[in-house]
Chains A and B, each alone.
Chain A
Amino acid sequence: MITRKQFLLAGAALTLSGCANIPLGFRPSFRKLEPDSGPFKAPDSDSVDLISHVIGRLSFGPRAGDFGRISGSARTQEESANCYIEEQLAPEYIDDSALDHAIRRIESLSEPLGELFEYKEKVLLGDMTRATLLRAVWSKRQLYEKMVHFWTDHFNIDSSKGDCRWLKAADDRDVIRRHTLGKFPELLRASARSPAMLWYLDGRVNRKQNDADKPNENYARELLELHTLGIRGGYTQHDVMEVARCFTGWTVRTVSQLNKGRVEFHPEQHDNGEKTVLGQHIPGGLGEKDFDRILEIVSLHPATARHLAEKLCCHFIADEPPASAVGEVARTFLSNRGDIRAALRALFATPDFLAARRTKIKRPFEFVVSALRATQAETDAGPALFDYLVRMGHAPFQYPTPEGYSDRAGHWMGTLLWRWKFATAISRNEIPATTVHTERCIEDFGGAQGFAAHILGRRPLPDEIAASGSEADKLSLLLASPEFQRF
């Protein structure tokens, strides 16, 4: 038997083929999005075991088949958990063709940049939201989707500002999703050149054509404060102003022009003087190369590593993450030149991660998606669900300011009423275009106790099972329970 540590050290030497039941490679198929069929195995421990823990953290909550599939993939819980982690860190080997097929039917999302402007903005926002929900609910690449959410918040763009109404769709596809598990410097670079980001943080109007022009500092500040070094990252107001100077001249063609949405550099609007950023000298006359210099300086800066490690650990371990885990993730991030997978692999190997059972409270989006997954719900992922997300203040692409939705529980404590209302509505099949088959789920788990254990990730307490009432009432109670708010 190998320990978890040995397994992770072995890294690439271990092939995934050691794990049974984990799909490998692409198997083209055009299946509809259909729930798995039972019988299913439920967790049988009184507390959250390692398998339920990693499913809860790496995914938007267990689907009916997950616990059995993963716990049966190796001899011990540790090995099985490791197999699942490695599987999720390599999404390109996971067959997700049924979902991909469903997403391809949302045409707007594959349109080239310029064509996006042909769509009504409400249609685009609806399409993006729907795809986001469908992917979270159905994708087998769950860690990948979780990280898409992480970066969407990190590089937050509210689609309601100016041309972001159209351009955010391209940002989601070409920046966030393309680089989600790639190299951070490339992700950052793509974001800095994203037309939506140039709109959202006013980079497009950051210019210096004459001595009177004052650079617009908005993007420069958020780049340092939010995207890279962090608020305590050791930069000064002077650094912000110098970074802003370096970015002068980059702009986006607007709705009234040809090739709208295209990002361009206008040398005549660039401040070509010399600059100093974080103590590093940038000679004059570099023109658009200033852009590259800034990204070189900040993307793998130790403060950036620490800031990202803190945020990742907050996301996957606890609201106030332990310093040891943060340090480990930051070190790995730097030694692997900003490789996001390596950082995550290190995070999942920390004792802090393994011990952090149910220390996080789901945000509303995670709550809604986990309920849809746990109940094998059929859903159009449409307006009725958007409405719940809006009520809970967690609709994708609709957070107004650049810091993105909070990852900490305190911000979401006012949402319980709507969670409970959602719990009762979904259990009673009262949400339009969303259906659950509770009786079938109970049967597939060999009884109500098993279904309850699947939903909670552990065996239920007596108070968590309503003694009387219909199956819908029992399901309402489980989904509204405190345990289901955690992961």
Chain B
Amino acid sequence: MAIPIAAVSSNGDQRQTLIVIFLRGAADGLTLVPPVADDNYYRSRPRIRVAPENAIPLDGSFGLHPLLKPLKRVWDDGHLAIVHAAGSEDDSRSHFDAQDFVEHGGVAAGGWLGRFLRFRDRTPQSPLSAVALGRRFPECLRGAPSVTVMQSMDDFSLGQKSDDLAARLARLYATQPDLLAVAGRDTLNALARIERMRTSVYRPEHGAEYGTDGFSLELRQAAQLIKAQVGLEAASLDLNNWDSHFTQDAIMNPLMARLAQGLAAFYADLGPAIAHTTVIVMTEFGRRVQENSSFGTDHGMGSVMILMGGGVRGGRVLGKWPGLASNFLTGPGDSQVVHNYRNVLAPVLLRQGGGPDLPVIFPNFQLQPLDVY
């Protein structure tokens, strides 16, 4: 990967990128990362459990669901960390309220990621500092200095016959007496890189094999933007429909396959660039420990968060695990939230640099950052 000479933005081409993947619908952490050494898990899930012999062993206490096998390599490389019993204090067990609460970072204005991008020492930012991949504007990015809900790379282009326009703008902006001259030059640099990226065929590297589903395609675009060094600092993606009240396997299996293939391909594709790219996988809440009568699970509290890349202390399950004994459950029989999601996000944001203003990003919350590095 060639290192370009000129910076796209005055921040010297921010190289740290955050990829936030939201599993909407409340993904069951006990299926993604089953606690294979916990008898209570097997007692609570007689029909929809991951059998110990099928789980991919991680650390003796936990395994990966077999469909997440592609992630085992990332785990073995030390770039994948798991936080179990993670979630928020919102106990509404309503998808909408809980997603909102998590993405806003509490009862707050704007989203945590939007505030992170805005309240740092480092300004101004690239026009491509934040993109939402997919059609939906995610609440976590609300309030960011710039958000593009990106459909395709063409979203960034000035269109056909723009060379002449760019040349004329270069002349006009070069003679400006103030900030506009610098901004004009930065923007023309960005445009040149975008055009190069847009007009070339993207080839994933290192044998990465993305799927043909939307989630894989979006991760592929994220990788392309990261490699093109256009100043991408945050990208948000959704993987929807985890609400497994009924026949959980039928609902979760295809999603898990997509999740694993996409993440593994992204990891391979980035190669060494994974060191400055952090992927966060989160969901609004976990599911009831006890399975229900229709081979599914109902709304609960704690679930898992997955961290990949960016120098996380991988190859291990981080934090504490309260177990599933009935006296450690909460509400109608839900896994506790031991690790508030803010305590997982905060150290990651600090690592991104730029002096993020954490009390503004996570207002009215006493942070106790988890040791993820």
CB under 8 Å from chain B, chain A span 377-419: 387, 390-393, 398-401, 409-418
Task: Answer whether A400 and B115 are a contact pair too, CB < 8 Å, given A160-B104, A164-B109, A476-B165.
Answer: yes
Contact indicator B156/A417 (Cβ below 8 Å): yes
Contact flags (1/0) for B90-111 with A, using CB distance below 8 Å?
0000000000000010011111
Nearest-neighbor residue (CB-CB) of A164 within chain B: B109
Contact indicator B165/A398 (Cβ below 8 Å): no
Contact indicator B143/A414 (Cβ below 8 Å): no
A330 at the interface (CB under 8 A from B): no
A158 at the interface (CB under 8 A from B): yes
Which residues of B have CB within 8 Å of A415? 127, 146
Q: How far is the CB of A248 from chain B (nearest CB, A)?
A: 18
B53 at the interface (CB under 8 A from A): no
Which residues of A have CB within 8 Å of B171? 463
Task: Answer whether A398 and B143 are a contact pair too, CB < 8 Å, given A413-B183, A481-B172.
Answer: yes
Which residues of B have CB within 8 Å of A161? 104, 107-110
Q: Which of A158, A390, A463, A483 contacts B147 (CB 8 A)?
A: A390
Contact indicator A409/B165 (Cβ below 8 Å): no
Q: How far is the CB of A49 from chain B (nearest CB, A)?
A: 20
Q: How far is the CB of A480 from chain B (nearest CB, A)?
A: 6
Task: Answer whether A480 and B165 are a contact pair too, CB < 8 Å, given A390-B137, A420-B158.
Answer: yes
Nearest-neighbor residue (CB-CB) of A420 within chain B: B158
The docked-state distance in angstroms from the alpha carbon of A485 to that of B148 is: 21
Task: Answer whether A160 and B124 are a contact pair too, CB < 8 Å, given A400-B109, A400-B110, A400-B118.
Answer: no
Instruction: State the main secondary structure of chain A at its contact with B.
Output: helix
Contact indicator A477/B115 (Cβ below 8 Å): no
Contact indicator B124/A411 (Cβ below 8 Å): yes
A210 at the interface (CB under 8 A from B): no
Q: How far is the CB of A411 from chain B (nearest CB, A)?
A: 7
Interface stretch (choices B173-181, B328-336, B365-373): B173-181
B123 at the interface (CB under 8 A from A): yes
Contact indicator A409/B179 (Cβ below 8 Å): yes
Q: Give the total of A residues in contact with B, Cβ under 8 Å.
A: 46
B149 at the interface (CB under 8 A from A): yes
Contact indicator A413/B179 (Cβ below 8 Å): yes
> Which of B111, B143, B144: most chain A Cβ within 10 A?
B143
A466 at the interface (CB under 8 A from B): yes
B168 at the interface (CB under 8 A from A): yes
Q: How far is the CB of A121 from chain B (nearest CB, A)?
A: 10
Contact indicator A482/B184 (Cβ below 8 Å): yes
Contact indicator A485/B180 (Cβ below 8 Å): yes
Contact flags (1/0) for A417-447 with B, using CB distance below 8 Å?
1101100110010100000000000000000
> Which residues of B are interface residues toward A (Cβ below 8 A)?
9-10, 104, 107-111, 114-115, 118-119, 123-129, 137, 139, 142-149, 156-159, 161-162, 164-165, 168-169, 171-173, 176, 178-180, 182-184, 186-187, 190-191, 360
13 residue pairs bridging A and B, Cβ less than 8 Å apart: A162-B107, A361-B179, A391-B146, A400-B110, A401-B119, A413-B179, A414-B126, A414-B146, A417-B191, A424-B159, A469-B164, A473-B164, A477-B169
Question: Known pairs A401-B119, A414-B145. 10 more at Cβ < 8 A?
Answer: A160-B110, A391-B127, A391-B147, A393-B144, A400-B118, A413-B10, A414-B126, A417-B187, A417-B190, A469-B164
